[in-house]
Amino acid sequence: MAVLNSVFALLGAVPASITPSVAAPGSMWHVLILKTFAFVADYGWRIVVFTLLLKLVLSPLDFFQRYKMHKNQKITERLKPTMEKIQKQYGHDKQAFAQKQMELNRKEGYSYFSSCLPMIVTLVVFITLWISMQTIAEYMTFKEYTTMYDEYRYVYSQIYDQDEDHSDLTEEQRTQYQDVAKRVGQDVVYQMYYYGLDDGYTQKLKQNDEYKAFLPEDFTVLRKGNKSIKKVQASFLWIKNIWAPDVPWGDQAILSWGKFKDGIDDYYYASTSKIKTGEHTTAVNTKMYNEVMYKLLHDKTQSRTNGYLILPILVVVLSLGSQLLSMMQQKRAGQVNAQGGVATSMKVMMIIMPIMMAFFAIQFASIFAIYMVMNSATTLIFNALFSGIIKLMDSRKHSRNHGIATGSTRSVAVAKQSPIIHYVKGANPNAGAKETVQAPDSAVTQESKKDKKTKKGKADNSGTRVVQRGGRPDPNDLMGVDMSKNNRKR
């Protein structure tokens, strides 16, 4: 029997692998993660590297968004007095107030949509990546099984080839060979999943007193041309199976047949996997799956707990932090009016978004949770960095304005035409200084008592009176708005 198996092995009469026939998904994200970043062998760290590089590529859009929000914030602060006047005048008519507000914002260069464009891009990336990573998880779950199935059949056929004539064996002997072939195959699958295979494991099986009488002389766990096989298990830190969620329930580390069937989705069908229909039917069924995975499913030394909810918790915390930061930025930028129904909507979003992220992290593959954690963490870091850069840009811009800051991010030429100008205290040594002018006595004597209180002067030897006036202009004059007490009462 052993001699016949050796002959068949030499002639290449061993089952061909079906794994190379499995069709990989082919979208842009699939190619990037599965092929372009293949230089990172560990899939968990591959997602980390991929997320960091993707964030770097998208960082100009993130910076553009932060810059626009900061610019809007400056415009909002500068227009606050005028907005208050408009609100008092048109507060009873919401439509008129909104129209006047939009007209003023548009005139002053306020951008409603430019800061939203990066958010749209980010949302598109998030949704497409979620779909792609889920498909990758389905593909890899199926491919891991077919890899172990191929090895199981290869080992099994060396001990007992079902296509061979076994008429020289009694029924009892055939049963013994089949039983040994099954157990050796399951041992090899177990070793392959957790540790990988090499020639050393082949020698270990040959020296096993229970198996060695049934193994052919040239028995090997490695196909021709292979010196070793890497472990199949795709783990990451505390997570045992990154193609399943980071949860402590549901036996997600080693999937039962039902969870495996649900986890491979359309790969359950030959048309999706691109494996020949007969081969696919033979490999993917309840009986064969439980036979190949028997030792993994019934092993008591390895826990089937896949994780401890660490990633979902991190996702919720970072999502909540990002929501709070974004809300504060939008408030400062004047993009939201945190009153009434808007305030309620913002609070609802602060609750819904973390819950939605937690749902993704608990229900879908851990690789997507890894992406969400890394993306949120790098977003917070980049936002802090961008804020520092924008503040530095502001400080340099103000220093070029020689002490006069328009409070606007618009060009100096446009800012000079704006009626609203704020003087920066201490920036210009002449800002706020009293201006000395000469006026005839007759002009001074005709001034009202009120003017005399605010303007004091004395006559010089030429018969003219020197009048000192405050160098800081009246904001009401600059704005063209009469905010005197009498007008406010009206």
On the question of pLDDT at 419 being above 60, the answer is no
At residue 297, the pLDDT reads 95
**Averaged pLDDT, 254-270:** 95
Q: Confidence band (pLDDT; 50, 70, 90) for 303?
A: confident
Residue 115: what pLDDT?
60
The pLDDT tens digits of the residues spanning 364-407 come to: 999 999 999 999 999 888 887 877 777 777 777 666 654 444 44
Residue 438: pLDDT over 70 = no
Which residue would you say has higher pLDDT here, 401 or 444?
401
Mean pLDDT is highest, among 54-63, 150-159, 382-391, 473-482, for 150-159
SS3 sequence, the chain?
CHHHHHHHHHCCCCCCCCHHHCCCCCCHHHHHHHHHCCCCCCHHHHHHHHHHHHHHHHHHHHHHHHHHHHHHHHHHHHCHHHHHHHHHHHCCCHHHHHHHHHHHHHHCCCCCCCCCHHHHHHHHHHHHHHHHHHHHHHHHHHHHHHHHHHHHHHHHHHHCCCCCCCCCCCHHHHHHHHHHHHHHHHHHHHHHHHCCEEHHHHHHHHCCCCCCCCCCCCCCCCCCCCCEECCCCCCECCECCCCCCCCCCCCCCCCCHHHHHHHHHHHHCHHHHCCCHHHHHHHCCHHHHHHHCHHHHHCCCCCCCCCCCHHHHHHHHHHHHHHHHHHHHHHHHCCCCCCHHHHHHHHHHHHHHHHHHHHHHHHCCHHHHHHHHHHHHHHHHHHHHHHHHHHHHHHHHHHHCCCEECCCCCCHHHHHHCCCCEECCCCCCCCCCCEEEEEEHHHHHCCCHHHHHHCEEEECCCCEEEEEECCCCCHHHHHCCCCCHHHHHC
Mean per-residue pLDDT over the chain, rounded: 78
The confidence band for 244, taking pLDDT boundaries of 50, 70 and 90, is very high
pLDDT per position as a tens digit, 457-480: 444 455 545 445 544 555 555 455
Percentage of residues in the chain having pLDDT higher than 90: 45
- What's the average model confidence in pLDDT over 311-333? 78
Which pair of structure tokens corresponds to residue 182? 């099954």
Of 73-87, 278-292, 397-411, which one has max mean pLDDT?
278-292
Q: Is the model's pLDDT at 160 over the cut of 80?
A: yes
Q: What pLDDT score does 314 carry? A: 94
Q: pLDDT tens, 214-242?
A: 999 899 999 988 899 999 999 999 999 99
Examine the pLDDT at 88 and tell me if it is beyond 90.
no
Q: Does position 440 have pLDDT exceeding 70, yes or no?
A: no
Region 148-156: mean pLDDT is: 96
Q: Which of 366-380, 409-423, 440-454 has the highest mean pLDDT?
A: 366-380
Residue bearing the bigger pLDDT, 15 or 39:
39
Return the pLDDT at 369. Answer: 95
**Of the candidate ranges 18-32, 154-168, 263-277, 326-340, the one whose mean pLDDT is the lowest:** 326-340
pLDDT band at 332 (very low <50, low <70, confident <90, very high): low
Confidence of residue 486 (pLDDT cuts 50, 70, 90): low
pLDDT greater than 60 at residue 416 = no
Please report the pLDDT score of residue 401 as a whole number.
Answer: 57
Mean pLDDT of 190-216: 93
